[in-house]
Amino acid sequence: MTTPNTASATRSSRARRARRLWPFAVAALAIAAVCAVAALRPWAPEPSAVVATGQEPVAVAVAPAALTLPEQPRVLIFGDSWTYGSAATLPTLGYAYLIGEQLGWETIVDGVRGSGYLKPGLDGGSFGERIAALDPTMDPDLVIIEGSINDRRLPAAGYRDAVTSAWDALAALYPDATIVVLGPAPQVLPVEKATVRIDADLAELAAARGWWYISPIAQEWITTDNYAEVIDTGIGRDHPSTNGHAYLATRLAEALSAISGETDVIADAPHDEDLTGP
């Protein structure tokens, strides 16, 4: 025989169970709704996967498509003092200007000395601030964003967020452009640990977007064998010499050729064996 007190207790227990199950029911409905929307959007790009490492999520690489450009592309080369042409006899003898001339590009060079993703430059702001000031009507076919060793003396905290924010803005500003990331090159040897960390961060973040990443460090553009010919350690303050910039233009042209599937390189700048002193 069920007493009034027993019936009341049973109803109370059922109510508590219903309250506990309610959040799970809501979550299930939300997941079902997301799946339904995804199924109705076959045109949406597949997001990159994220792997939990116990510390912070690591994005899984998305294979980039081969680089394709029109016959006479408009190219924005954006970066720091290396892109500016520091230590060349004239800034216009810097690698960014040379590669444009050699490959027949319409080149817009935007290099600011001392600038980085976190660090403001001598003649302009940080990368993010400078991207915000770019001409939205430029409409480049290709953007090469270079650097930067200038962030190496700043804390690692916030670096990846700054890169992500800058790249988001760049991609939104020029949605039809192909973006290639050119990582930092060593100004001293052995390569500084902070520069290695920057290189690794940029490589991972670029891979997650399906962007090509060119690493002068991993590809050993500058080694003990050619360091003295590439880097002006005197008046150039550890920047590429005029010959060094020509060499960098050649290496970049070769790297771009490789990711476009081409076998011939049109750059005529010297290779290691052709370099002379600064």
User: Looking at the predicted structure, is the pLDDT value of residue 3 above 70?
Assistant: no
The CATH class, in words, for 68-274 is alpha beta
Whole-Å CA distances, 85 to 41, 155, 178: 46, 27, 23
At CB < 8 A and 24+ separation, what contacts does 41-44 make? none
> How many CB atoms are located within 10 Å of the residue 169 CB?
16
Residue pair 238/187 in contact (Cβ under 8 Å)? The answer is: yes
Mean pLDDT of the chain: 81
Residue listed under structure tokens 């939104």:
172
* Percent of the chain residues topping a pLDDT of 70: 72
Would you list the domain boundaries of the chain? 4-44, 68-274
Q: How confident is the model at residue 61 (pLDDT cuts 50, 70, 90)?
A: confident
pTM for the predicted model, two decimal places = 0.74
Residue pair 109/80 in contact (Cβ under 8 Å)? The answer is: no
Question: What is the per-residue pLDDT across 63-87, written as a single tens digit (0 to 9) for each?
Answer: 899 999 999 999 999 999 999 999 9
Measured CA to CA, the distance from residue 83 to residue 85 in angstroms comes to 5
Question: What is the per-residue pLDDT across 116-143, written as a single tens digit (0 to 9) for each?
Answer: 999 999 999 999 999 999 999 999 999 9
User: Looking at the predicted structure, is the pLDDT value of residue 28 above 90?
Assistant: no
Residue listed under structure tokens 């597949």:
46
Instruction: Average the pLDDT over 189-200 and give the result.
Output: 98
User: Looking at the predicted structure, is the pLDDT value of residue 216 above 80?
Assistant: yes
Contact partners, residue 76, CB within 8 Å, separation at least 6 = 107, 108, 110, 134, 138, 140, 142, 143, 144, 174, 177
Q: Which of 122, 213, 124, 121 is nearest to 167 (CA)?
A: 213
